[in-house]
Amino acid sequence: MECVFGLVGEGFAIVAADTSAVHSILLHKNNEDKIMLLDSHKLVAASGEPGDRVQFTEYVQKNVSLYKFRNGIPLTTAAAANFTRGELATALRKNPYSVNILMAGYDNESGASLYYIDYIATLHKVDKGAFGYGSYFSLSTMDRHYRPDMSVEEAIELVDKCILEIRSRLVVAPPNFVIKIVDKDGARDYAWRQSVQDVTTAAV
Amino acid sequence: MKLDTSGFETSMPTIGFGSSNDMLDGFTTVPSFDLPRTTDFDGFQKEAVQMVKPAKGTTTLAFIFKEGVMVAADSRASMGGYISSQSVKKIIEINPYMLGTMAGGAADCQFWHRNLGIKCRLHELANKRRISVSGASKLLANMLYSYRGMGLSVGTMIAGWDETGPGLYYVDNEGGRLKGDRFSVGSGSPYAYGVLDSGYKFDMSVEEASELARRSIYHATFRDGASGGVASVYHVGPNGWKKLSGDDVGELHYHYYPVPPETAEQVMEEAAAE
């Protein structure tokens, strides 16, 4: 089952997601990146049905870019989160998207923020959030050790604690995770945590 | 089965008290509606959805290696326990440098791959360059996504060679699209993965890779009842695809595991004539 979680620290936000693409009992791929760069300073970690996840997040990404082109300035994280929730809500009673989203972003005025948006268009601004079976283990771990003024190193330690807990306690634990960070310098890959490495293919 | 709704009907006109009125003559019966002819009124809809639920009885696989993409599939079509055909072409030639594999509904796969071929050709004509494998698979994924929930059954891999080199994508009827190096789709896919994963190396020659593909299909057909027939193997290289082999899996079995000639332990002798 897909595990997505994230937290906000001092001037940054971190999100981690598992990287397995599963089809009933088969693991088709164990390095699927589920955290998308919405724009230079926003990350969207999504979990849900495969088609919906990619199509909906790409739709949001294109609309966020369109706003920037039309108006000359990028959307704030709060605005992007509210737009996303609005789209989910509109589609909910006709053609619902089964996607859960954690949106992390950095704005110069308001700093780093994290938004919890679930598949029935719930929206909350949070310090820490999680989706999936992994949330049963990561939420309490984060609740226990989280502080609002954490540094990047401390936050990564907490993320690793959560990953370790998921790996040791969840019966169908995903083998690999990807961690991404967003701060004043932008949104970028931070690290991969891989316990099962695919047979390496030469970089084509 | 029509439910007995005679209780709803009344001989009294709905408006007025017995006075014959031309204007109201057509309003004497309460409107009724047809009910679905089934004994299981609450569950019949679920059954209809289950009927179209994709059940992909097949084994197809594809993988990228040093010399390009190897694509292989079986050729059995089954309807429940009945084998309807042993000679289905499950590797579809979209255009001279791209192949698609078929798993799920045969009609769906054939139609949508043909449709994809048309779209790829239109792209070539409009842009004066070949479409990439990534672009082709995205076109297919978007088309299938727009039909999600309507009962399409397609589990396909798009394999090809474009400007960036060999490309392999998995696309299914839920609209999922995955880029990868090795995929196997169908009811026999776990068995095929077992052989494919343990024997895979990136640095293989075309002969080694085709043998690995053939072996994986054979082992899947051995264990999976819904897979069988002929194991076809195709290779996609920089100049396009080429069919390498098509071997009956029954014959492959005895090729891999020949029956040693038995030495009789006891010989029955003819009874001595009385």
Residues A159, A146: contact at Cβ < 8 Å?
no
pLDDT of the residue at B72: 97
Partner-chain contact A49 B174, CB within 8 Å: yes
Find out whether A34 and A45 touch, Cβ atoms under 8 Å. yes
Integer Cα distance of B77 and B54 in angstroms: 14
**Residue A96 forms contact with B (CB below 8 Å):** no
| Residue of chain B minimizing CA distance to A200 | B202
Least CB-CB distance to B175: which of A21, A51, A200?
Answer: A51
Predicted pLDDT at A199: 59
Residues of B known to be catalytic = 58
Residue type at position B100: G
Question: Which residues lie closer than 8 Å to B265 by C-beta, 6 or more apart?
Answer: none
Distance CA B170, CA B176 (A): 8
Q: In chain A, what residues touch B175 (CB-CB under 8 Å)?
A: 50-52, 54-55
Identify the weakest region by mean pLDDT among A89-98, A114-123, B38-47. Answer: B38-47
Contact A29 B178 (CB under 8 A): yes
Answer whether B190 touches A (CB < 8 Å). Answer: yes
Q: B91-107 burial, b if ≥16 CB within 10 A, otherwise e?
A: bbbbbebbbbbbbbbbe
Say yes or no for a CB contact (<8 Å) between B201 and A199: yes
Work out the minimum CA distance from B87 to partner chain A, whole angstroms. Answer: 27
Name the band, by pLDDT with cuts 50, 70 and 90, for residue A202: very low
pLDDT at B55: 58
pLDDT above 80: residue A35: yes
Confidence (pLDDT) at A147: 94
Contact A200 B202 (CB under 8 A): yes
- More confident position, B49 or A60: A60
pLDDT at B262: 80
> Which of B178, B183, B187 to mutate to test binding with chain A, by most A CBs within 10 Å of its CB?
B178
pTM of the model: 0.79
Q: What is the mean predicted confidence (pLDDT) over A6-35? A: 93
Sign for the CA dihedral angle at B199, B200, B201, B207 comes to positive
Q: Supply the DSSP symbol for B154.
A: B
CB of B71 within 8 A of CB of B233? yes
Q: Is A199 within 8 Å of chain B by CB?
A: yes
Chain B hits for A29, CB-CB cut-off 8 Å, are 178, 180
In tens digits, chain B (274 residues) has pLDDT values of 677 766 666 555 444 444 555 555 555 566 666 666 667 666 665 665 555 444 578 999 999 999 999 999 999 988 878 888 999 999 999 889 999 998 988 888 889 999 999 999 999 999 999 999 999 999 999 999 999 888 888 999 999 999 999 999 999 998 899 999 999 999 999 999 999 998 999 999 999 999 999 999 999 999 999 999 999 999 999 999 999 999 999 999 999 999 888 877 777 777 776 5
How far B79 CA lies from chain A's nearest CA (Å)?
Answer: 22
pLDDT of A15: 97
Shortest CA gap B146–chain A (Å): 10
Nearest to A127 by CA among A108, A107, A104, A110: A104
Q: Does B238 touch chain A (CB under 8 A)?
A: no
Find the DSSP H helices in B97-154. 106-127, 133-146
What is residue B27's DSSP assignment? G
pLDDT of residue B69: 96
CB of A52 within 8 Å of a chain B CB? The answer is: yes
Identify the pLDDT of residue B240. Answer: 94
Phi, psi (rounded to 5 degrees) for B79 = -120, 90
* Partner B contacted by A58 (CB < 8 A): no
Q: Which residue has the higher pLDDT, A154 or A199?
A: A154
Higher per-residue pLDDT: A111 or A201 = A111
Within an 8 Å CB–CB cutoff, is residue B16 touching chain A? no
- Residue A151 reports pLDDT greater than 80: yes
Count CA atoms within 13 Å of residue B241 on its CB side.
24
DSSP A119: T
pLDDT, position B274 = 58
Cβ distance A130 to A138 under 8 Å?
yes
| CB-CB under 8 Å, A26 with B189 | yes
Of A47, A86, A45, A46, residue with least CA distance to A63: A86
- C-alpha B136/C-alpha B100 separation (Å) is 11
Show the tokens assigned to B270.
Answer: 């003819």
| Shortest alpha-carbon distance between residue B175 and chain A (Å) | 4
Locate the chain B residue with the closest alpha carbon to A21: B178
Chosen for mutation from B145, B163, B173 (greatest number of chain A CBs closer than 10 Å) is B145
Q: What is the pLDDT of residue B100?
A: 93
Residue B148: predicted pLDDT: 85
Residue pair A18/A4 in contact (Cβ under 8 Å)? The answer is yes
Give backbone dihedrals phi and psi of B237, rounded to 5 degrees, phi first: -115, -170
Q: Which two tokens stand for residue B127?
A: 């842009």
Superfamily of domain A3-203: Aminohydrolase, N-terminal nucleophile (Ntn) domain (3.60.20.10)
How close, in Å, is residue B185 to chain A by CA atoms? 9
Which of the pair, B263 or A57, is modelled with greater confidence?
A57
pLDDT of residue B78: 86
- Tallying the residues shown for chain B, one arrives at 274
Tokens matching residue B43: 């569950």
How many C-alpha atoms does B95 have within 13 Å on its Cβ side? 20
A128 within 8 A of A5, measured Cβ to Cβ = yes
Question: Does A52 contact B175 at a Cβ distance shorter than 8 Å?
Answer: yes
Say whether A199 and B178 touch across the interface (CB within 8 A).
no
